[in-house]
Homo-oligomer: A and B are copies of this chain.
Amino acid sequence: MKKYLSSVLLILFFVLSAIGHYAHWSPTVEFIISAVAVIFVAGFLGKATESVAHYAGQRLGGFLNATFGNAAELIIAVMLLREAKFDMVKASITGSIIGNLLLVLGLSLFAGGLKHKIQKYNVTLAGMNGSLMIVAIIALFVPAIFLNTHVLHEEDRNTLSLVVAGVLIVAYLLWLVFSMITHKNYLADVTDRTEQQLPHEHEPAWSKKMSILLLVVATVMVAFVSEWLVHSLDTFTTKFGLSEIFVGAFVVAIVGNAAEHSAAIMLALKNKIGAAVEIAVGSSLQIALFVAPVLIFVSHLIGKPMDIVFTVIELAAIGVSVFIAKSITQDGKTNWYEGLLLIAVYCILGFSFYLV
């Protein structure tokens, strides 16, 4: 019953947002409908990816999950790139990182902590995640500092952006090798076994061929609704007097990550805090170390080169999010108050971006 309902809603909102787009409905209505449609098709894409990953076997499957887990954000960002909306691309990358580290993680710890006094998870993985987060902010800060204090040729700016992006992608791929092949048990040995098996605990609903077909269908659907959403953003942004950076960092990012939000909170309530932290922190790492650098390369391929230089307030937002998230996760124990602190920082950042 529930399964049919979500399928019906998925198709309904997809069709509605298609009609809204081609029939030129009011941009606000088009924006709301396509935002809801994005949430449903992103969830559908996530399920299809997981199902294909299941059939692909443990290693290739883990790789697929880790690489296409943020496919919806990636597709939305490519749509924004095609219209040369670089500011909004960077804002939505910023928003995805801080949304995962502060809002998703914060709500998970808060909700989980209200139900379970203290929740624990693998402290070694938390330490490695912390170091990866630091590398991610270093990779964003260093070009910004060098390019803001020295005048470089356009060509050198692009080369620096591509080199840093290349280093991050290599680091991310080797992280998959490390965490899935050479040190798989090292990162898992403290965690509850049931947590580890969680992504595969149910048999997938679809056959192998059907899964691949649905993955293709979902990707195409995400591409369409993303374009419709992006199309409606301009008028919506202007009408409500919002800045591009606020819409990108808070509206687009929350819509694009809605699936992760609900999944992580559900897991936290079931006392599977390790898996919830993995979704939140893992997703933000994937955005910073894989999605963002891939977008730099894609921007050059489609002839609209984007550099890796974020604005000062975006860097500040990412920097403070990493620091508080690292401080809170590093001891491997969480409680409701730690979740609240993350949400407090998210509120301060959200209101500051709103005023800009």
The binding surface of chain A is classed by DSSP as: helix
Stretch at the interface among A85-93, A159-167, A216-224, A254-262: A159-167
**A206 within 8 A of partner (CB):** no
Is the pair B145, A351 in contact by a Cβ cutoff of 8 Å?
no
B138 touching A335, Cβ below 8 Å? no
Would B149 and A327 count as touching, CB distance under 8 A? no
Q: How many copies does the complex hold?
A: 3
A25 CB within 8 Å of chain B:
no
Q: Say yes or no: B348 contacts A164, CB within 8 Å.
A: yes
Taking CB atoms, residues of chain B closer than 8 Å to A326 are 327
When distances are taken between beta carbons in the complex, the residues of chain B under 8 Å from A341 are 131-132, 135, 171
Q: How far is the CA of A347 from the CA of B142 in the complex (A)?
A: 11
B142 touches A349 (CB 8 A): yes
Q: Please give the distance in Å from A171's CB to the nearest CB on chain B.
A: 5
- Please pick, from B138, B182, B328, B348, the residue contacting A167 in the complex, using a CB distance under 8 A: B348
Does the CB pair A313–B145 fall under 8 Å?
Answer: yes
Decide yes or no whether A8 CB sits under 8 A from chain B.
no
In the complex the two chains form, what is the Cα distance from A41 to B355 in whole Å? 43
Assess whether A233 is interfacial by the CB under 8 Å rule.
Answer: no
* Chain B residue contacts of A170, Cβ below 8 A: 344
Contact (A160, B355) CB under 8 Å given A141-B320, A174-B340, A323-B134? yes
Inter-chain CA distance A347–B355, complex, in Å, is: 38
CB contact under 8 A between A337 and B186, given known A130-B327, A316-B142, A355-B146: no
Q: Does A213 contact B (CB under 8 A)?
A: no
Asked if A192 is at the interface of the complex by the 8 Å CB criterion, the answer is no
Could you tell me which residues of chain A, from 162 to 181, have a CB within 8 Å of some CB in chain B? 163-164, 167-168, 170-171, 174-175, 178
A149–B336 contact, CB under 8 A?
no
Interface residue from B118, B139, B171, B316 paired with A186 (Cβ < 8 Å): B118
Give A243's nearest chain B residue, CB to CB.
Answer: B150
CB distance from A261 to the nearest CB of B (A): 21
Cα of A333 to Cα of B128 in the assembled complex, Å: 11
Inter-chain contact A183/B335, CB cutoff 8 Å: yes
A126 → B minimal CB distance (Å) = 10
**Does A152 interact with chain B (Cβ within 8 Å)?**
yes
Q: Does A234 sit within 8 A of B, measured CB to CB?
A: no
A124 within 8 A of B: yes
Question: Given A167-B348, A170-B344, do A328 and B131 touch, yes or no (CB 8 Å)?
Answer: yes
Given contacts A141-B316, A168-B344, A186-B335, 19 further A-B contacts (CB under 8 A): A124-B331, A128-B338, A131-B328, A134-B324, A134-B327, A138-B320, A142-B320, A142-B348, A145-B316, A149-B312, A150-B313, A156-B355, A159-B355, A160-B352, A163-B348, A167-B347, A170-B344, A171-B341, A183-B335
List the 6 closest pairs (A to B, CB-CB), nearest first. Answer: A178-B337, A138-B320, A146-B352, A145-B316, A131-B327, A171-B344
Show 16 residue pairs from A and B whose CB-CB distance is below 8 angstroms, ordered by the A residue.
A117-B182, A117-B186, A127-B330, A127-B331, A128-B337, A131-B327, A134-B327, A135-B345, A138-B324, A150-B356, A163-B347, A164-B351, A174-B340, A183-B335, A186-B335, A326-B327
